Each structure stands twice: as structure tokens, then as C-alpha cells.
Structure 1
């Protein structure tokens, strides 16, 4: 069984976690497949402009497969999961994650790799490391505070409470929350809106944001001005196209 499906259309690569019978619980084998896809996508900037990650079936992911762990499911490299999530977060292309249903602990750490996170109203987010006497090693302590703020992150990590899609939107964990029946259309529309922009700009803007994260305002402004990547190879064509549209309107 293929644990991570890939479908490409119109410059959008969609990866789907594919263990619906197990609520897309995360195993070593699933992460190995995900890593292979991510490493391939990193080399395909000419054919893939945006990456979309979602889950099959009832939810995005219920988290790490505790049953598999109890049965001895361990990667040869203990950093497999954490470094795979890091590779996903650092893909040259923007990454959209669509979350419906459960998004718990390891699933949340995976979702936090998103540049843009879309939640369905059915989404349920939680960090349950505390319930199992665990501490995070896949990025929770670093990515969650950067997304929701340090004290909301403490609340989530120390209480193990569950938060709805609407609560996730309100705290900034999700960029937007939509009704379940509009969820698929929303993530598709968002991906198509982004992929219609210059792929050069998508990649350059993402690099800029990553490089200046944590800098002071002055440092960030200096980086932006003095290390700009300038015009993309499609700039002249896009500007000329805009001029032609303006002339026709006039």
C-alpha cells in the first residue's frame, strides 16, 4: 500500500497521507515515503510551483502511531521524522497544509511545516506529548511558538487541550478556517491563486522570509535591500502583459 500519494496538476503537487483506516497515524514507513517525495520535489522547481499536503479519509493525522511504537517501530536514523519535517518546511516551493479532523501531536508538528495552513471547521488540534510522558523532537517547541506566540504555545503544550478549527484560526495557528463542505474547494483555490503568480517570486519571497526570521527590523530591512534577488526571468513578460491589458481597457 502506498502510504503517501502524489498527484500533479497545473504546477501543483498534492501529497496525501494515505492510511485512512488508521486515521493517517504516522509510522516510520510513512515518513520514509514522505521524505522521498519531498527530496524529489526540491529538485522540481521548474515543474512544481506549489506543494499541497493533506490527509485521506476522516482526518489529517491522529499523530504518531503509538501501537507501532509499542511494537518496536523505530527508524534507523532517530532524526528521520524531524529532519523530514524540516525538509518539507524548507522546500523551495510554498507549502500549503490542509487540515480536517484530527491533527494531534506528531500530526501537528507535521502541519506546522506549512507556509499556509487551512483548517476545516471539523479540525481538532492538540499537542498531547504531556499525556504520554513525552517531549517533542520534531519541532513543536520551536515552530508552534513562532506561529501562535510563546504563551499560547505554553498553554497548548502544558494542558494537552484540544482546539477547534475556529479556535486555531483565532490564535493564528490556521491562516483560515472554512466549512467542511467548502474545504477542498478552498485549498484548491488557494493553491491555484498562488501558482498563478511568478514561481520565481514565490521561491524568492519564501527564502527572504526564512533568512530574516528572528532578525531585528533594521537587520531585516538591510537584508531585504542589499541582498535582493531582483527581477525574475518572467518579469518583463508579466509587466508587458499588464500593459497590454491596460491598453485594451483604455
Structure 2
């Protein structure tokens, strides 16, 4: 892994992963893309980590997308790096929640990286844009299919056909991001949300993420059947005693949160 292009800080069961090329607005060079894959592949094997917060260094950019200077020499094709660097695969295979803390510009390939996260939070500095068509390439990391499912076909076409920027407040209103924070509040809020997620029963947290993601790729009727199948399968491993203990824990947590 190239030195310093990505930073990993573990905070209990949460890992804070920071893209660290602020001088280049965290542009996705080959080295950074490789580091992202290696980081998530490694974290997937780390039993102590059950959630990740992904953000960018500085307050200007989450990531401005593929490093255009480098791409001008190596080409834009996803296979230009030998086909060995697949961020969509590494993040897609990560079994625990990924919270994207979008601290600034998330442009084109950077927008696609954001969409690989399970939950998006944004600072007031966040700006989203899809300039694939303007640059002369077709998205290959999922944007054309994910974005329309999140915000609707018409809004997705507006963004992708114009290349215009979407501000954080509009992104929240459209359902692209869950919440918007002041810049200094963003990462702490993301870490707190990640910590809350890690308090879920580990087996259920992993199974629930897989159920939602797998069902999202199915027709609705098939997804409902799959939910029933997995629910019945899981129920066979649950005892009445464990359910009662879990009920007590949930009740106590509710009382604590409502004080």
C-alpha cells in the first residue's frame, strides 16, 4: 500500500478511514484506489471492527474523482490498471456498515465511491456532481443504476445529463444523504452513528446488511420471499432464552436514551 495516501484509525469497534491526498482534492489515483481496496479487504478480516466511517482529508473534497492527470497518461478504462483494482468489489464485499462522511466535493468517480457506502452523511461543504458524460466516459462503478434508485430517475437524469453540482441541503431533501452537519461536526456524528450500529447484535448486523443489499438487487416479490426464507432460517438458531435477554437489553437501552 502506498504510504500515507490513506489513513486508518481504529476507535473501539469502528474504523475511521480517511482518503489522504488533500493537495489533489483526494483524487483517486491508482495508488489511492489500490489502498482503498487493500484497506477494506484487510478490515473485512479484522474481527475487532464492525463498522467503518469513510471520509476525505481537509474540508474541500471527499474525492474529486479519478485523477485526471494520471488518467490522461494511462487511460480512463477500468481495466487500465490490469483489472486488479476494483473498489466496487472491495466495498461491496465488506460485510459491515460503511458510513460515508462526505466532507466536500464528491465528483464523478468520487460520487460513485460515495454511493458504495451504506449511509451518507454530509457537511455543509459537500457538493455532488456526475460529469461522466462531459469527460467522455461511461460510469462503471454503479452510479447509473444506484443514483436513480436513490433519488428517482428524473432527478438522476438531471444530474448526469447536466453535470451540475448538487448542494448538501438539496441532497438531503432528495434523499441522497441522511443528514447535513457543520464541517467540524460531521466526522464525530458519523463515528457516533457507527458506534450505535456496532451495538447491534453482530450476527444480526451482518445478516441484516446482506438481506437489504441482496433484496435491493431483486424484484420486489422475490425479495419478500427471500426475507421470509432467511427469517425462518435464522429463527432455527434462536432460543426463547436469548430472545428474552435481547428484549431486556433493548428495553433498558430505550429507557436510557429517553432519560
Shorter-chain TM-score bucket reads 0.7 to 0.9
What is the rounded CA distance, in whole Å, between the counterparts of 2:250 and 2:166 in structure 1?
A: 44
Structure 2: stretches of 5+ with no match in the other structure: 255-259
Shift in alpha-carbon separation, 1:188–1:207, aligned structure 2, 3 A: same
Match of 1:10 among 12, 20, 41: 12
How far the C-alpha of 1:159 sits from its partner, in A, is 0.5
1:53/1:95 contact within 8 Å kept? yes
Q: Which residue of 1 aligns with 2:257?
A: none
- In 2, Cα distance between equivalents of 1:86 and 1:5: 20
Shift of 1:147: 1.6
Deviations 1:87-127 (A, max 9, x none): 20331101100001111001000000111000111101000
Scaled by the length of structure 1, what TM-score is found? 0.88
| Offset of residue 137 of structure 1 | 1.5
**Does structure 1 residue 209 correspond to structure 2 residue 223?**
no
Return 5+ residue gaps in structure 1 as ranges: none
SS of corresponding position for 2:74: coil
**After the TM superposition, which residues 8-157 of structure 1 pair with which residues of structure 2 at under 5 Å, given as runs?**
8-44=10-46, 46-58=47-59, 59-72=61-74, 75-78=80-83, 80=85, 83-157=86-160
Q: TM-score with structure 2 length normalisation?
A: 0.85
Number of residue pairs the alignment of both structures matches = 243
Q: Distance in 1 between matches of 2:155 and 2:109?
A: 18
- The alpha-carbon distance between structure 1 residues 71 and 215, as it changes in their structure 2 partners (threshold 3 A), is closer
Q: Where does residue 198 of structure 1 map in the other structure? A: 201
Q: Secondary structure at the match of 2:196?
A: helix
Report the Cα offset of residue 142 of structure 1.
1.7
Deviation (angstroms), 1:78 = 3.7
